[in-house]
Structure 1
């Protein structure tokens, strides 16, 4: 009888522990990532802390492959215009966390959000 109660308590604590770990992993994903990184041809072109943006603005990138206009807003970033044929990068829309980056393959431009603040 005593062994059954101890087993029940151990299972209860194990379940609570697993739920806590799961909640931590679920809610911590993307919560720190506020630095947008724009890369052209694999090289870092610009880093932007999206939390410090007060007024939305555009960045124009012209390369030998074509042009992209990147729209920066508080907490989000997107490729708003591009002269590539497929327009997948434009259709992807805004990104707000460090999940899937925006990639313009024909122009070799990537826009992603990393999980670190910019070093001052």
Structure 2
């Protein structure tokens, strides 16, 4: 009976240790070369390599509904002001990874963080 309990405890601790190690490796892995691509009405109008930005700067993008003020910091980007009525793109805040893009539907603006070409060599599929 004691042998079974020790075996199960050892198996549980091994799985727990592997899970913690895998989680730590996934969460601490940082992509150093990320590019912020700005799409206006589906067309890429600007690509900014966030890993090379050394000082903060801002610029404007004219959309269908009005103007979006884009602010770039080292490693992150945001829409700091917009002419759209709900300003959900402004309220989204800073992004620095490819998890969630910034979208301004009235101005048809999308800011998506993507990996550079050297990092995305393992292509799953290509569609048209």
The total of aligned residue pairs comes to 116
For structure 1, the residue ranges without an aligned partner over 5 or more in a row are: none
Task: Give the C-alpha shift of residue 52 in structure 1.
Answer: 0.5
1:60 is aligned to 2:45: no
After TM superposition, the runs of 4+ consecutive aligned structure 1 residues lying more than 6 A away are: none
Give the corresponding residue for 2:123: none
Map 1:1-120 to 2 at 5 A: 5-28=6-29, 31-32=30-31, 34-114=34-114, 116-117=115-116
Q: Output the aligned Cα RMSD.
A: 2.2
Q: Secondary structure of the residue that 1:65 maps to in structure 2?
A: coil
More helix by share: 1
Which runs of 5 or more residues in structure 2 are unaligned?
A: 119-128
Residues 11-62 of structure 1 show CA distances to partners (whole Å, capped at 9, x for unaligned) of 332221122122223333xx21632111111222211111111222222211
TM-score in terms of structure 2 length: 0.74
Choose between structure 1 and 2 for higher RCO, CA contacts under 8 A separated by at least 6 residues: 1
User: How far has the Cα of 1:102 moved from its partner?
Assistant: 1.3
